[in-house]
Chain A
Amino acid sequence: MPKNDIKVALIGNPNTGKTSLFNQLTGLNQKVGNYPGVTVDKKQGTSKLSTTQNAVITDLPGTYSINPTSLDESIVLKTLLKKDIKESPDVILVVADIENLKRNLLLFSQIKDLEIPTVLAINMVDQMTRKGISIDLSLLKKELNTEVVLISARKNQGIDDVKAAIIRCHVAAKASPLCGINSKIDPDYFHKLKEISPNYSLYELWLMVTQNNYPETITKEEKDKLLAFKKDVSKLKKYQHKETIYRYQEINKILKKTYIVDKSKATDLRSKLDKIFTHKIFGYAIFALILLVIFQSIFDWASVPMDFIDSTFAQISDFTKNNLQPGILTDLLTEGIIPGIGGVIIFIPQIAILFLFIAVLEETGYMSRVVFLMDKIMRRYGMNGKSVIPLISGTACAIPAIMATRTISSWKERLITILVVPFTTCSARLPVYAILISLIIPKTKIFGFLNLQGLVLLSLYALGFATAILAAYILHKTLKIESKSFFVIEMPNYKLPSIKNVGFDVLEKTKAFVFGAGKIILALSIILWFLASNGPESYKNAEKNVIENADNQTLSSEEIQQKVASAKLENSYIGIMGKSIEPAIKPLGYDWKIGIALITSFAAREVFVGTLATIYSVEADDENTTTIKQKMASEVNETGGKLFNFPVGMSLLVFYAFAMQCMATLAIVKRETKTWKWPLIQLFGMTGLAYVSSFIIYQILS
């Protein structure tokens, strides 16, 4: 980033429209990364403040105060206390919601006391008249001693004012505190605290003591002195309570002069909608209906573009094969790279649809009602209402889902949620399910409108959820972790989703998935192609042996070609690997080719389809344009029957429902739990369960 860019940190309570403002300020100049040392998403974007001045804006997780109770919130504290010149913000932009200004100002007052230049953007002012709110802006500016801007981020109002205020704020002198916590609580105590270091504001020192969070720049001597203040825990707690009440008193004084609400004008749509959405019968019925719509749409809507992508890539592969010079590079392209890319692109429709639904449900405020409805149920299984969001997000991808557990403040509830999330059916399982279902389940309609294939898919999702819940219950009863469960969630006002916010969200998450998982899949496709087209001595002799044997038989040249390809694959490195595990997977109904796919899909489940695509495109003869599905349908087993028959298909479906086959998820669990213990338990527990269940299913059905 250029040196003269202003570093702006965007902070605010959840549901204040922080993300809308971020999107308006930065547009498409956004990127997602990780905060140094942690895996929480870091959203950054550049904004053109004026013709000569740019700003780098960092969107911080939503928080009610800088006294964190969850991991997400501790990021905010860390960013603010960081005294690293490169990371610490020049200007803080606090976003507040006009309707909850009082509560939003608590966070503002804390930030102001850090003595960093601060701009307050009051959002959703387009609703002021409707809600009967009026505000004295110039007096509020004076009282808060800061830049205050009225905006409506959704309607793109006041964005230029925000930009101008950031510039003014940046050039102005050092900011002064708002509340000054020392005088009212215990002047002596805070005076002593302030004397420890002149390099930090009093409030920074107070936060270091109460939050046990020290910046890298602090000296050992200063830290020791601060640690002495930590001794009396009950006193610290009492002072924090006093501090909060004092802050509210100050805020009330200011708002009394500047902010008027005429309650008679407020409309009561919220309570009417709440009566429906949190109703003891309708509430659950609506939730179930929404889930049904999501799952049906993933299978129905997404299948059209997916079939199109599938056949397009088959055609591209054939086209390059027929039009390029034969050789190793052409083989790599047509058998490794193109099917590999196709295997990534094919997810986009499903992932985008899932993320779209989740983004809309979050934006409208409905998700909080789901948390409210589900808390008691989830608690029975050792989780809490907030675990519902990771479990639903898990249907898209376990990685963001595990990150979403950061809002859960109890460690035990959070750990259980992390451990069971991979059971929910993520979108990487979908291609595997989709192809197997289409092979073994007939395309009939039940009652004339329900798609049987869709129903089977739905029951696989139900199986995933049920297993997650059951596993949670077992963990709840067996894990001996003392952890206080504390639960509070805000019920935001209902809002119409903004197309821009939803669009950015879907775009960003799909991009992150495609580039994150895509790299692994593509790399594996190339490795696979190499392993499938190379081998030891027997591989090199395969062609010769087949042709020699063929002399005794009457075979067409086409049949010989096919036999050669088949023999080559069998003797390739990957064929050897697949065959060596065949004894272990035979009781599940799998042959060595499926064995190859099982090995490779430990990297990521979706690689299963890509692997089979590679295997069959290596094996198939050149003349036919067949898609992977047709190739699998025509595979035969030793007895001459269909290889992907009903028992094998069911066994595979169950295996993929349970097995922990995602290296990326294991890596995230390791980072989140800070030990290899939990990911290893997940890996062996889930895969063991998968093996046993597939074994039982296959033995019963065959």
Chain B
Amino acid sequence: MSTIASLHIGEIGYISEESLDFIPLKLLEMGCLPGAEVQLVQIAPLKDPLYICVNGSHLAIRKETAAQIIILKANS
């Protein structure tokens, strides 16, 4: 099972419906919706937080949050 935390830099995934219950409301409001395209832009030097681009928003979230959001990778 892939999550946002398992993406490589530059890789793209799509947020899966099943992770809806795990996405905090705040992230939903900022555009992390089921079905949305999410790209990992950058990882902070100490491997955390992660810098993602989702639904046109550029956000930094912590790894523990990212690990809860299930995605389908673009190539699979």
Residues of A within 8 A of B (CB): 64-65, 67, 69, 99-100, 102-103, 106, 237, 240-241, 244-245, 248, 270-271, 274-275, 278-281, 283-284, 368, 371-373, 375-377, 385, 485-493
- Complex formed: what's the CA distance from A278 to B27 in Å? 22
Structural contact, A486 and B24, CB atoms closer than 8 A:
yes
Structural contact, A278 and B26, CB atoms closer than 8 A:
no
Structural contact, B25 and A490, CB atoms closer than 8 A:
no
Name the CB-closest residue of B to A374: B44
- Complex formed: what's the CA distance from A292 to B24 in Å? 38
Name the CB-closest residue of B to A492: B58
Structural contact, B42 and A375, CB atoms closer than 8 A:
no
Name the CB-closest residue of A to B10: A271
Determine the main DSSP class of A at the interface with B: helix
A278's partner among B21, B30, B31, B51 (CB-CB below 8 A) is B51
Place the interface of chain B in its size category. 20 to 34
Q: Which residues of B contact A385 (CB under 8 A)?
A: 49, 60
A247 to chain B, nearest CB (A): 9
Structural contact, B44 and A244, CB atoms closer than 8 A:
no
A63 to chain B, nearest CB (A): 10
A461 to chain B, nearest CB (A): 23
Name the CB-closest residue of B to A67: B25
Q: Which residues of A contact B58 (CB under 8 A)?
A: 270, 490-493
Q: Which residues of A contact B60 (CB under 8 A)?
A: 368, 371-372, 375, 385, 487-491
B5 to chain A, nearest CB (A): 14
**When A280-B45, A375-B60 are in contact, do A488 and B27 touch as well, CB less than 8 Å?**
yes
Q: Which residues of B contact A372 (CB under 8 A)?
A: 44, 49, 51, 60
Q: Which residues of B contact A375 (CB under 8 A)?
A: 44, 48-49, 60, 62
Q: Which residues of A contact B55 (CB under 8 A)?
A: 102-103
B39 to chain A, nearest CB (A): 11
Q: Which residues of A contact B33 (CB under 8 A)?
A: 244-245, 248
A696 to chain B, nearest CB (A): 35
Contacting A at CB under 8 A, from B13-30, are 20-21, 23-30
The 21 sampled A-B contact pairs (Cβ below 8 Å) are A64-B29, A64-B30, A65-B29, A67-B25, A67-B26, A67-B29, A102-B55, A102-B56, A103-B30, A103-B55, A103-B56, A106-B29, A241-B25, A244-B33, A274-B41, A275-B42, A284-B45, A385-B60, A487-B65, A490-B30, A490-B58
Name the CB-closest residue of A to B25: A240
Structural contact, A488 and B65, CB atoms closer than 8 A:
yes
Q: Which residues of B contact A245 (CB under 8 A)?
A: 28, 33-34
Structural contact, A100 and B57, CB atoms closer than 8 A:
yes
Q: Which residues of B contact A488 (CB under 8 A)?
A: 24, 26-27, 30, 59-61, 65
- Complex formed: what's the CA distance from A489 to B44 in Å? 13
Name the CB-closest residue of A to B61: A488
Structural contact, B59 and A491, CB atoms closer than 8 A:
yes
- Complex formed: what's the CA distance from A642 to B34 in Å? 73
Structural contact, A373 and B48, CB atoms closer than 8 A:
no
Number of inter-chain CB pairs below 8 Å: 103
Q: Which residues of A contact B61 (CB under 8 A)?
A: 487-488
- Complex formed: what's the CA distance from A237 to B34 in Å? 16
Q: Which residues of A contact B57 (CB under 8 A)?
A: 100, 103, 490
**9 extra interchain contacts, Cβ-Cβ under 8 A, other than A103-B55, A489-B59?**
A67-B25, A67-B29, A241-B28, A372-B44, A372-B60, A375-B44, A486-B65, A488-B24, A493-B58
A333 to chain B, nearest CB (A): 56
A244's partner among B28, B45, B46, B51 (CB-CB below 8 A) is B28
- Complex formed: what's the CA distance from A369 to B68 in Å? 24
Q: Which residues of A contact B24 (CB under 8 A)?
A: 486, 488
- Complex formed: what's the CA distance from A485 to B61 in Å? 12
A64 to chain B, nearest CB (A): 5
- Complex formed: what's the CA distance from A241 to B41 in Å? 26
Structural contact, A376 and B46, CB atoms closer than 8 A:
yes
**8 A-B pairs with least C-beta separation:** A280-B45, A376-B46, A491-B58, A65-B29, A244-B28, A372-B60, A376-B48, A489-B60
> B34-76 CB contact bits vs A (8 Å, 1 = yes)?
1000000110111111010001111111100100000000000
Structural contact, B59 and A103, CB atoms closer than 8 A:
no
- Complex formed: what's the CA distance from A274 to B45 in Å? 12
- Complex formed: what's the CA distance from A99 to B55 in Å? 11
- Complex formed: what's the CA distance from A227 to B62 in Å? 34
Name the CB-closest residue of A to B54: A103
Structural contact, B56 and A100, CB atoms closer than 8 A:
yes
Name the CB-closest residue of A to B63: A376
- Complex formed: what's the CA distance from A81 to B59 in Å? 29
Name the CB-closest residue of B to A99: B56
- Complex formed: what's the CA distance from A490 to B59 in Å? 4
Q: Which residues of A contact B42 (CB under 8 A)?
A: 274-275, 278
Structural contact, A64 and B26, CB atoms closer than 8 A:
yes
**When A99-B56, A486-B24, A490-B58 are in contact, do A283 and B30 touch as well, CB less than 8 Å?**
no
B23 to chain A, nearest CB (A): 8
Structural contact, B47 and A244, CB atoms closer than 8 A:
no
A282 to chain B, nearest CB (A): 10
